[in-house]
Structure 1
Amino acid sequence: MRITVIVPTYRRPKDLERCLEALEKQTRPADEVLVILRDTDAETWAFLEALNLEVLPIRPVTLSIPGQVAALNAGLDRAQGDIIAITDDDAAPRGNWLADIETHFLSDHRIGGVGGRDWVHLGNYLENGARERVGRVQWYGRVIGNHHLGVGLPREVDVLKGANMSYRRTAISGLRFDQRLRGTGAQVHNDLGFSLALRKAGWKLIYDPGVAVDHYPAQRFDEDQRGIVFSDTALINAAHNETIVLLDYFPVLQRIIFIVWSTLVGTQIKPGFLQCLRSFPKEGLLAGQKCLASLRGRWQGWLSWKKCLG
């Protein structure tokens, strides 16, 4: 099987250098590495021009449209591999990453996607927790991530994480990342939507903690600052995107349950009314701001989803 690796990047040449060095050290070399970058990204262009392209089979792919969705779709359009592996420019795949991915795909033709743990490095601190429940969507709409904390044996999941995911080419034939998703950079939940589309089509998604990358969350150049500073725009976008994805995935009854749950309860990150009341003693007016932004995003997501139905 031929393997293509897609690495979207924007203005983070030092992080990209670490990522490419990790890809050079793979025990199973990549057959093709697509680096997706913007035409205005002078820093990254200067780095690539100085790079020895004989070490890795790198092919730069240029686009003028902002956002991760456009970058990933440009990569999918040009990828030639039977397996398409995707990682972030601020991640460094461990040495057996591609070898283990290939082993999973060869073991079962029903596997459409494979992902694993991203070991998160925050400065000198390594997040070293342990969670068994990873990558699941509960029946009422709560999404459980925990990909950066997963332990145990390989198992089926509903969702793979964007920093560490790979797909069988035949499983994603004709499938692209959702252009309805909002955001000028990260466009959060694009991985959720892509994963659930495969699940809905009947493919298996496998999460294996041993298929690992080291993840060094880097600066983002958009409204989403990973929760470091509250942004109502980022929260509205996140709630909007998650709402569209789950309304697409759920049947009618579960859509109703999800809308009721997300409005009345919600989560700490995307609160509904009850989570807002719970957080108010600690966060004060900020709890209200988060709730308002979350509900606005849910409503706008509903409108966007309805619009696409015609």
Structure 2
Amino acid sequence: MRNTVLIPTYRRPQDLSRCLLALQAQTKPVDQVIVTVRDTDEATWQFLNGFHPHNLPLQIVTVTQPGVVAALNAGLAAVKGDIVSITDDDAAPHIDWLEKITAHFLSDSCIGAVGGRDWVYQGEKIEDGSSTLVGRLQWFGRVIGNHHLGVGKPREVDILKGVNMSFRTQAIDKLKFDQRMRGTGAQVHFEMAFTLTLKRSGWKIIYDPNVAVDHYPAQRFDEDQRQSFNDIAFTNLVHNETLALLEHLSFFQRIIFIFWAIFIGTRESFGIIQWLRLFPNQGTIATKKLQASLQGRWQGWQTYSKEQGTGLKLS
């Protein structure tokens, strides 16, 4: 099977260099590497003009719109491989990444997507831990990620993580990343909307902890700054999550989800009980998070209602 690797990048040339060097070292050579670059990203263009790809079949796709969704959709249009593997510019795939991905797709024609663990580095320190529960959507709408902590055997999941996800191109031939995802850069939960749509189409989604990348979370150049609170970024995150879940859940599940989300919620998307629990430690920030979460839920519901629950467009 021919392998295409798709990397969206923006103003992180040193990280991109590490990623490309890791792809050069793969035990199964990559057949096509697509890097999507914003037209205004002078730092990346300068780096690429001086980069020597050697045996790497590098293809640059120019993007004029902000956001990871536009970048990925532009990249998908140029894919020639039987498998497209998506990773971030601040990640470095392990040497056998493509070999193990390909083996999964060859083992079962019903597998539409394969993902794995991202080993997260905070400086020189690796974020350690383990979990056997990864990438699951519970019946009432709570999402369990833990992709960076996964251990155990390969198994079916509901959701993959954007830094380490691969797709059979036949399975996503008419599928695009959802342009309704909000945000000017990261557009958090874009992969949730995509993989849940694939799941609804009947394809198997596999998570294998041994399909691994090293992940060095780098600076973002939008409102989402990872460790610091921003009400716009928080609202966008909850909007995107809400929209993706409303389109995937049944009518009964949607009703339960709305009540659960408003009154309970999670540490990432606050409900009233989470606010009460965390207010003693976070104070006014907890209140701002609750307000942003409720606003995001409402906006997600509005977007869903406007589209009448049609989901991602298959054209």
Both proteins in one fold, TM over 0.5: yes
Task: Indicate the residue corresponding to 2:312 in structure 1.
Answer: none
State the AA in 1 paired with 2:115.
G
**Any idea what the Cα deviations from partners look like across 1:136-164, whole Å, max 9, x if unmatched?**
01111111000000000000000110000
The 5 A counterparts of 1:54-65 are 54-65=54-65
Q: Tell me, what secondary structure is at the counterpart of 1:148?
A: helix
Task: Indicate the residue corresponding to 1:252 in structure 2.
Answer: 251
The answer to whether residue 25 in structure 2 is matched with residue 28 in structure 1 is no
Large movers: runs of 4+ above 6 Å: none
d(CA) in 1 for partners of 2:282 and 2:126? 27
Gaps of 5+ in 2: 310-315
Q: Tell me, what secondary structure is at the counterpart of 2:194?
A: helix
d(CA) in 1 for partners of 2:198 and 2:56? 30
Task: Indicate the residue corresponding to 1:86 in structure 2.
Answer: 86
Task: Indicate the residue corresponding to 1:279 in structure 2.
Answer: 278
The answer to whether residue 314 in structure 2 is matched with residue 308 in structure 1 is no
d(CA) in 2 for partners of 1:98 and 1:54? 18
d(CA) in 2 for partners of 1:274 and 1:160? 28
Gaps of 5+ in 1: none
Q: CA deviation at 1:173?
A: 1.3
The answer to whether residue 53 in structure 2 is matched with residue 53 in structure 1 is yes
d(CA) in 2 for partners of 1:142 and 1:220? 26
State the AA in 2 paired with 1:14.
Q
Task: Indicate the residue corresponding to 1:290 in structure 2.
Answer: 289
Q: Tell me, what secondary structure is at the counterpart of 1:158?
A: coil
Task: Indicate the residue corresponding to 1:109 in structure 2.
Answer: 109
TM-score w.r.t. structure 2 length? Answer: 0.97
State the AA in 2 paired with 1:181.
M
d(CA) in 2 for partners of 1:10 and 1:79? 20
Q: CA deviation at 1:53?
A: 3.1
Task: Indicate the residue corresponding to 2:121 in structure 1.
Answer: 121
**Any idea what the Cα deviations from partners look like across 1:270-297, whole Å, max 9, x if unmatched?**
1111111111111112111110100000
d(CA) in 2 for partners of 1:217 and 1:282? 26
The answer to whether residue 233 in structure 2 is matched with residue 217 in structure 1 is no
State the AA in 1 paired with 2:190.
N
d(CA) in 2 for partners of 1:149 and 1:309? 36
d(CA) in 2 for partners of 1:21 and 1:303? 44
State the AA in 1 paired with 2:252.
L
d(CA) in 2 for partners of 1:269 and 1:256? 20
The RMSD of aligned alpha carbons is 0.8
**Any idea what the Cα deviations from partners look like across 1:112-149, whole Å, max 9, x if unmatched?**
00010000000011011010000001111111000000
Q: Tell me, what secondary structure is at the counterpart of 2:306?
A: helix
The answer to whether residue 266 in structure 2 is matched with residue 262 in structure 1 is no
State the AA in 2 paired with 1:69.
V
d(CA) in 2 for partners of 1:41 and 1:55? 25
d(CA) in 2 for partners of 1:76 and 1:220? 23
Task: Indicate the residue corresponding to 2:138 in structure 1.
Answer: 138
Task: Indicate the residue corresponding to 1:236 in structure 2.
Answer: 235
d(CA) in 1 for partners of 2:51 and 2:236? 36
d(CA) in 2 for partners of 1:280 and 1:56? 51
d(CA) in 2 for partners of 1:231 and 1:53? 38
Moved more, 51-60 or 125-134: 51-60
**Any idea what the Cα deviations from partners look like across 1:54-83, whole Å, max 9, x if unmatched?**
431000000110000000001111101110
Task: Indicate the residue corresponding to 1:194 in structure 2.
Answer: 194
d(CA) in 1 for partners of 2:124 and 2:33? 29
**Any idea what the Cα deviations from partners look like across 1:218-240, whole Å, max 9, x if unmatched?**
000001111x1110101100000
State the AA in 2 paired with 1:225.
Q
d(CA) in 1 for partners of 2:268 and 2:52? 43
**Any idea what the Cα deviations from partners look like across 1:33-64, whole Å, max 9, x if unmatched?**
00001011111001111111343100000011
Q: Tell me, what secondary structure is at the counterpart of 1:78?
A: coil
TM-score w.r.t. structure 1 length? Answer: 0.99
* Percent identity between the two aligned chains: 60
